[in-house]
Amino acid sequence: MDANTEPIIRVEDLTVAYGNNVVLEDVNFEVRPGEIFVILGGSGCGKSTLLKHMISLQEPVKGRILIDGKDVVTAEGFELLEIFRRIGVMYQHGALFGSMNLLENVCLVLEEFTSLPRAAMETIALMKLNIVGLADSAYKMPSELSGGMKKRAAIARAMALDPKILFLDEPSAGLDPITSAQVDELILKLSRNLKMTFVIVTHELPSIFTVADRVIMLDKNAKTIIAAGTPDELRDKSDNPWVRRFFNRQADDGMSE
Amino acid sequence: MAHIDYQVLREGELEIVVTGRLDTETTGRFWSQVVRKITETRPELLIVEASGVEYCDGAGVALLLRLKHTQEENGRQIQIKGLQSQFEQLMALFDPGRIEKTEQKNTSLTSFVEDTGQVTFRLLQDFKSQVSFIGELSVKLWHALIHPGNLRWRDTFLIAEKSGANAVGITALLGFLIGLILAFQSAVAMRKFGAEIFAADLVTISLFRELGPLLTAFVLASRSGSAFAAELGTMKVNEEIDALTTMGLDPVGFLVVPRVIAAVFVTPLLTMFNNFFGLIGCGLVMTSIGFAPVAVLNQIREAAYLGDLFGGLVKTLVFGTLIAGIGCLRGLQTGTGASAVGDSATRAVVSSIVAIVMADGVFAVGYYFLGI
């Protein structure tokens, strides 16, 4: 990865709070194009909150979040839609529309944003479903799918408009190790072949070591990033004992709390 | 910008020259044109000259794949020449092959018979589940009556407050307006016979015997019946009902019985409010067309007997049971998915209203033979 490339996402001095309860304070980081960037941390440290701010679902107290040079915090109307066209989001439980089959789920965003004929949309939807291995299930309803299939279908839907960046919220949570490994494989395949940038929120260690190029680690007490680097660096070289314990899966002995 | 050119090389051979950017926008413009051209000319060999393609996104790949599949399905040839290797890789990666659409429903006689059978079966099953639910509910209600200590009184009062006390305003308003309208309409008609004062009789008797109980039941069905169905339905979707069952708590006893008792308790009270405000509405019209308030009051007092009032109130006990019972049953029957809860609420209201009117008919016949 070329360290000099212009970052595709830049988060500057981000402070996030629910009422008076500050969740994150002065968070700064950058995501470079084409990398798989993992946001990590224990339960309740604000990982998903950070993600929701990056995709403009919530408004921060202060700070800027630039996606492709555009600030998502201040963006409104058409400008925001332009940003949404460039990103795809997979929600934790898939959030597929239950009243539509998978093909229609993927076609929906194409209908809204493009003027392609119906046959073209269906071909594109089938392609996207094929890449996640679900082309055979295109006419199934979400309720007929297993958890892992739902997540993969949600990735296909997020990819409908060929986004530059995919945000994945806990892609392997609640999946068995084999299915979880399949999702990891899919992420690597997409990253390699389509040069997509990934921002992934997770706390599944095996996934992190398989897919992550770079990791930032958030902490509930510090309310900011306590470590950043490659997964191996964090496991072996971090001077923060809590980070090392996290990576070595040791139970909390009360040292850092 | 992208550009597309067609060239018939020789009999049965068509060359398409694509240049520029094949993105969502340009592909959208080309798609129908290209597909039409292929179906019209039916070339044995289609050559796609793609060395001039600078960029190709999902839509561009989709177009190329579509051409490939159209040719292959008809046993014809395709050659894609000069496509940059990265786009070629995308094609290989995305190609879903041929996906059979799940078969459409055929509209033949067999499917009609099949549908009819299935609908009948579903109706019978629904009837069966209603009967078994009534049985279970009766047992649980009886149990609650003989062991009142086991009933969740706090929940019951809360539900009674929500579906009763909070509904007083709307019931009173509705009763008032219906009394007003009914008195006015009938007074106008009766004026021809000089019998306007009997409009008070008409309003009083119809409110006490029919309109009061029915209107209140409709309000309760649409307000609380649907709420019960939605609440229990959401609990079902969130697996809370399953949690209750595995914790050893019976969902019917835990959730349905308090709701039924609360509804049975509040329906007669709401009906009284409805009747009272209906009479006020009636009185208002009568005094405004020139009758002394005392005359109207006397007329109302002589029009109705206690039997009329209590006959109506007894009906409301049954209506209350039906509304809460059906609301809860529909809630417990909720399926999966976002629309399931909405469907349950709708079915709760519709079934309740049908059941209420049917029960009212039974009461009408019963009261006739009893001479009430």
The pLDDT of residue B159 is 94
Interatomic CA distance for residues A23 and A44, integer angstroms: 9
CB contact under 8 A, B337 and A161: no
Sheet holding B77-81, edge to edge: B2-10, B13-22, B45-56, B77-81
CB contact under 8 A, B27 and A162: no
* pLDDT tens for each residue of B84-119: 888 888 888 888 877 766 655 566 788 889 899 999
Interatomic CA distance for residues B357 and B315, integer angstroms: 11
The pLDDT of residue A162 is 85
Which residues touch B309 (CB under 8 Å, ≥6 apart)? B208, B275
Interatomic CA distance for residues B125 and B333, integer angstroms: 12
CB contact under 8 A, A119 and B89: no
Only one residue has tokens 């709708």, namely B346
CB contact under 8 A, B58 and A119: no
The pLDDT of residue A110 is 86
pLDDT at A255 exceeding the cut of 60:
no
Interatomic CA distance for residues B372 and B369, integer angstroms: 8
**Average pLDDT estimate for B158-187:** 95
* pLDDT tens for each residue of B284-336: 999 999 999 999 999 999 998 888 999 999 999 999 999 999 999 999 999 87
CB contact under 8 A, A130 and B97: yes
DSSP-assigned states of every residue in A109-132: HHHHH----HHHHHHHHHHHHHHT
Residues 175-214 of A with CB under 8 A from B: 189, 193-194
Q: Which residues of B touch A120 (CB under 8 A)?
A: 27-28, 31, 59, 62-63, 66
pLDDT at A250 exceeding the cut of 80:
no
Work out the minimum CA distance from B334 to partner chain A, whole angstroms. 14
CB contact under 8 A, B59 and A124: yes
pLDDT at B199 exceeding the cut of 80:
yes
* pLDDT tens for each residue of B28-73: 888 888 888 888 888 888 888 888 888 888 888 888 888 888 888 8
Q: Which residues of B touch A193 (CB under 8 A)?
A: 89-90, 93
Q: Which of A99, A130, A193 sits opposite B95 (nearest CB)?
A: A130
Interatomic CA distance for residues B80 and A105, integer angstroms: 31
Top residue of A93, A102, A127, A192 to mutate, by most chain B CBs within 10 Å, is: A127
DSSP code at position B303: H
Top residue of B22, B24, B69 to mutate, by most chain A CBs within 10 Å, is: B24
Residue B280 contacts residue B178 (beta carbons within 8 Å):
no
Interatomic CA distance for residues B239 and B254, integer angstroms: 15
* pLDDT tens for each residue of A157-179: 988 888 889 999 988 877 888 88
Three-class SS state of A135: helix
Question: Higher-confidence residue: A226 or B157?
Answer: B157
Q: Which residues of A touch B90 (CB under 8 A)?
A: 193-194
Which residues touch B293 (CB under 8 Å, ≥6 apart)? B283, B287
ipTM of this complex:
0.72
Q: What is the mean pLDDT of chain A?
A: 85
Confidence category of residue B186, pLDDT binned at 50, 70, 90: very high
CB contact under 8 A, A131 and B93: yes
Show the tokens assigned to A143: 């309720």
Phi, psi torsion values for B45, nearest 5 degrees: -130, 125
CB of A118 within 8 Å of any CB in chain B? Answer: no
Interatomic CA distance for residues A65 and A87, integer angstroms: 14
CB contact under 8 A, A98 and B336: yes
DSSP-assigned states of every residue in B24-45: HHHHHHHHHHHHHHHHHH--SE
Only one residue has tokens 């509304």, namely B323
What percent of chain B has a predicted confidence (pLDDT) above 70? 97
Interatomic CA distance for residues A60 and B30, integer angstroms: 43
Interatomic CA distance for residues A133 and A113, integer angstroms: 25
The pLDDT of residue A257 is 41
CB contact under 8 A, A114 and B24: yes
Highest-scoring range by mean pLDDT, A252-256, B129-133, B238-242, B344-348: B344-348
Three-class SS state of A13: strand
| CB burial of residue A215 (10 Å; 0-12, 13-18, 19+) | buried
CB contact under 8 A, A143 and B32: no
**Average pLDDT estimate for A27-55:** 88
Confidence category of residue A95, pLDDT binned at 50, 70, 90: confident
The pLDDT of residue A97 is 84
Residue A79 contacts residue A70 (beta carbons within 8 Å):
yes
The pLDDT of residue A256 is 43
**Average pLDDT estimate for A40-51:** 84
